[in-house]
């Protein structure tokens, strides 16, 4: 009896395989036929899409074993019957041999509904555990030169595993999808054209299985990297699930979710959607010891606070002090992102700038510029930008910066820093010189001018110009002019750099501006007049350079006064 039973089972399995093969062949033929039919195009397009989904499900069954041959056999029989009926309708439409439009439309609607029912039946069979997978989880990926049909078949197969696959099958399909869209975005385009593909990804974000959730969040992050596809994710309702992942997902899932939200909120239209689902308040669950995750969370909030109402809400929630505390972190990613966030919040809002300063934010940022610290050039650049944007040019801020050692740090880097840091320090010096007259005085007393003079001979045009602009700004102060002229080499160096034959010189306009300021001083005029490089200014004056002509005129007036003074004294 046992042998007879085994033989019967084998016969049933063989019959199922025959019916399955028959159904797959029929569907493939019908899909091709549906694309060529000219009448009732909308209905046939809908039927064609449903046939592709059914084909995907049937292809997935090929990789499975049935534990209930009877249920599968009955389902396959009804599918084959429906496909034959559909084929007959397709033939009539192709040959225009149908008896009436209304009757044909009705028949097509009936077939379409039957195909929907078949797709559901197979999903139900799998959900009840009547099908178990074999080792072949996902079909082989098409080659690099694959046709659009091959790509679509592959993506539809992945979608079928989303629908009817076990947990492992879903995970394998997600992994395969994430791999393939990073290598060829044609697969992503095809996937997003399928009605339910993104819906499944969104639903996977709420699954308790951590691995599936993580792969789904990764997929969302990858898709959000394409500007044209962000709206598809938003339209599928992905914001709320992403927020839930941020609240309770694994660290890796949170990172993918945060990356997706950062990209999504670059568009201000999506900001309110994030806010409506509680995205603004999800800042305490990001794991403060994970620099990357905190940085991503700051990135999301930076986009959100661009909206005035949301920025006010964040301030009222007391978030400023939380972000200031992040500034004190030794983790460079956290420090950089928190500076970026705070300066975005402070933009155009003096009250928020005051809150940051009073909370110790500027002191914390200045510490990143301490030469004794080991922060990278990138962190120092961000710190300087933060100081400029948060402090602006107020006298109060300048006093704080002096007290915190900001000028000493800048001067140190000008003297001893490597080239990238020196450039940063030079720009900082220029900013300081523009803050106020008091700032210029303090810089003069601190010894900035002798250091800046050395940069006038730099190989870099940008460095020469910034150094010249800074000196030009500082020389306006009489006390600084006096200090500058006291060094005999300073005036001669400026005149030497004005040689019309020299190509690699500082910005002549700025150098002449410095000399114009210096001519207000008697001692400076004397040094210019007695310099061996006076001819450089005279040549520029002859070339009709305006400032050079003014300087020569002042020097001539000075000489005339000296002659007259000597005459009257005699």
pLDDT band at 418 (very low <50, low <70, confident <90, very high): confident
Residue pair 177/191 in contact (Cβ under 8 Å)? The answer is: yes
The answer, yes or no, to whether residue 126 has pLDDT greater than 70, is no
Give the mean model confidence (pLDDT) for residues 56-85.
76
145: how many CB neighbours lie within 10 A of its CB? 6
Residue pair 424/461 in contact (Cβ under 8 Å)? The answer is: no
Prediction pTM value: 0.70
Beta bridge partners of residue 65, listed in sequence order: 132
Give the mean model confidence (pLDDT) for residues 18-28.
87
The answer, yes or no, to whether residue 476 has pLDDT greater than 80, is yes
CA 534 distance to own-chain centroid: 55
pLDDT at 192: 92
pLDDT averaged over every residue in the chain? 83
For 512, the enclosing helix (H) or strand (E) is helix 508-518
The rounded percent of the chain whose pLDDT value lies above 90 is 41
The answer, yes or no, to whether residue 315 has pLDDT greater than 80, is yes
pLDDT in tens, 428-475: 999 999 888 888 999 999 999 999 999 988 888 889 899 999 999 999
Which of the residue ranges 58-62, 162-166, 231-235 would you say has the lowest mean pLDDT?
58-62
pLDDT at 555: 75
The answer, yes or no, to whether residue 533 has pLDDT greater than 70, is yes
Residue pair 133/165 in contact (Cβ under 8 Å)? The answer is: yes
Among all chains, which residue has been given the structure tokens 């120092």? Answer: 380
CA angle at 282 for the pair 278 and 287, rounded to the nearest 5°: 160
pLDDT band at 97 (very low <50, low <70, confident <90, very high): very high
User: Per-residue b/e over 527-558, b at no fewer than 16 CB within 10 Å?
Assistant: bbeebebbebbeebbeeebebbbebbebbeeb
Instruction: Look up residue 52 and give its two tokens.
Output: 């592709």
pLDDT in tens, 534-556: 777 777 777 776 777 887 777 77
pLDDT at 38: 92
User: Radius of gyration of the chain from Cα atoms?
Assistant: 38
Residue pair 298/340 in contact (Cβ under 8 Å)? The answer is: yes
Q: Which residue has the higher pLDDT, 249 or 69?
A: 249
Among all chains, which residue has been given the structure tokens 């379409």? Answer: 112
pLDDT at 163: 78
pLDDT in tens, 329-356: 989 999 999 999 999 999 888 899 999 9
For 275, the enclosing helix (H) or strand (E) is helix 271-276
Instruction: For residue 42, count CB atoms less than 10 angstroms from its CB and return exposed for 0-12, middle for 13-18, buried for 19 or more.
Output: exposed
The answer, yes or no, to whether residue 212 has pLDDT greater than 70, is yes
The sign of the dihedral angle between the CA atoms of 409, 411, 417, 421 is positive
pLDDT band at 63 (very low <50, low <70, confident <90, very high): low
Instruction: Look up residue 38 and give its two tokens.
Output: 């000219």
179: how many CB neighbours lie within 10 A of its CB? 11
The answer, yes or no, to whether residue 524 has pLDDT greater than 50, is yes
Residue pair 163/204 in contact (Cβ under 8 Å)? The answer is: no
Determine the angle formed by the axes of helices 478-486 and 522-530, rounding to 10 degrees: 40
pLDDT in tens, 242-289: 999 988 889 999 999 999 999 988 877 777 777 766 555 555 444 456
The answer, yes or no, to whether residue 563 has pLDDT greater than 60, is no
CA 278 distance to own-chain centroid: 22
The answer, yes or no, to whether residue 178 has pLDDT greater than 90, is yes
Residue pair 546/513 in contact (Cβ under 8 Å)? The answer is: no
Residue pair 344/306 in contact (Cβ under 8 Å)? The answer is: yes
pLDDT band at 83 (very low <50, low <70, confident <90, very high): very high
pLDDT band at 568 (very low <50, low <70, confident <90, very high): very low
Among all chains, which residue has been given the structure tokens 């030009």? Answer: 472
């Amino acid at each position: 009896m046992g042998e007879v039973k085994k033989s019967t089972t084998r016969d049933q399995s063989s019959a199922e395989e025959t019916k399955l093969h028959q159904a797959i062949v029929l569907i493939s033929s019908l899909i091709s036929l549906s694309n060529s039919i000219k009448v009732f195009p909308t209905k046939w397009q809908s039927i064609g899409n449903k046939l592709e989904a059914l084909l995907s499900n049937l292809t997935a069954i090929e990789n499975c074993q049935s534990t209930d041959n009877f249920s599968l056999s009955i389902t396959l029989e009804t599918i084959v019957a429906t496909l034959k009926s559909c084929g007959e309708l397709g033939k009539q439409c192709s040959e225009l041999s149908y008896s009436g439009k209304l009757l044909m439309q009705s028949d097509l609607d009936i077939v379409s509904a039957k195909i929907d029912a078949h797709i559901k039946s197979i999903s139900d069979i799998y959900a009840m555990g009547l099908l178990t997978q074999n080792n072949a989880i996902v079909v082989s990926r098409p080659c690099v030169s694959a046709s659009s049909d091959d790509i679509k078949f592959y993506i539809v197969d992945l979608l079928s595993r989303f629908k009817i696959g076990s947990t492992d099958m879903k995970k394998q399909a997600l992994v395969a999808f994430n791999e393939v869209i990073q290598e060829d975005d044609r697969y992503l385009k095809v996937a997003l054209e399928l009605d339910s593909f993104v819906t499944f990804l969104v639903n996977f974000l709420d699954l308790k299985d951590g691995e599936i959730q993580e792969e789904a969040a990764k997929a969302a992050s990858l898709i959000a990297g394409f500007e044209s596809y962000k709206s598809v994710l938003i339209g599928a309702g992905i914001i709320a699930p992403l927020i839930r992942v941020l609240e309770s997902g694994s660290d890796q899932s949170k990172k993918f979710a945060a990356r997706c939200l950062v990209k999504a909120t670059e568009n201000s239209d999506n900001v309110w959607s994030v806010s409506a689902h509680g995205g603004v308040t999800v800042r305490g669950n990001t794991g403060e010891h994970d620099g990357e995750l905190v940085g991503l969370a700051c990135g999301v909030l930076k986009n959100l606070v661009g909206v005035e109402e949301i920025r006010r809400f964040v301030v009222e929630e007391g978030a400023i002090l939380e972000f200031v505390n992040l500034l004190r972190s030794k983790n460079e990613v956290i420090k950089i992102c928190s500076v970026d966030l705070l300066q975005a919040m402070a933009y155009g809002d003096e009250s928020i700038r005051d809150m940051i300063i009073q909370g110790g934010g500027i002191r914390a940022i200045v510490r990143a510029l301490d030469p004794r610290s080991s922060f990278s050039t990138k962190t120092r650049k961000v710190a300087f930008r933060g100081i400029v944007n948060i402090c602006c040019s107020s006298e109060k801020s300048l006093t704080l910066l002096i007290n915190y050692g900001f000028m000493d740090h800048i001067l140190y880097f000008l003297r001893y820093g490597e080239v990238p840091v020196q450039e940063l320090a030079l720009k900082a010096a220029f900013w300081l010189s523009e803050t106020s007259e008091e700032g210029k005085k303090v810089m003069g007393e601190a010894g900035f001018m002798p250091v800046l003079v050395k940069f006038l001979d730099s190989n870099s045009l940008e460095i020469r110009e910034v150094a010249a602009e800074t000196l030009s700004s500082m020389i306006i102060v009489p006390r600084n002019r006096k200090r500058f002229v006291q060094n005999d080499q300073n005036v001669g160096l400026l005149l030497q750099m004005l040689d019309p034959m020299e190509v690699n010189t500082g910005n002549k306009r700025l150098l002449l501006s410095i000399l114009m300021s210096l001519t207000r001083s008697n001692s400076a005029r004397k040094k210019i007049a007695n310099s061996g490089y006076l001819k450089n200014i005279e040549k520029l004056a002859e070339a009709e350079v305006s400032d050079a002509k003014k300087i020569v005129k002042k020097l001539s007036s000075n000489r005339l006064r000296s002659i007259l003074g000597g005459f009257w004294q005699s």
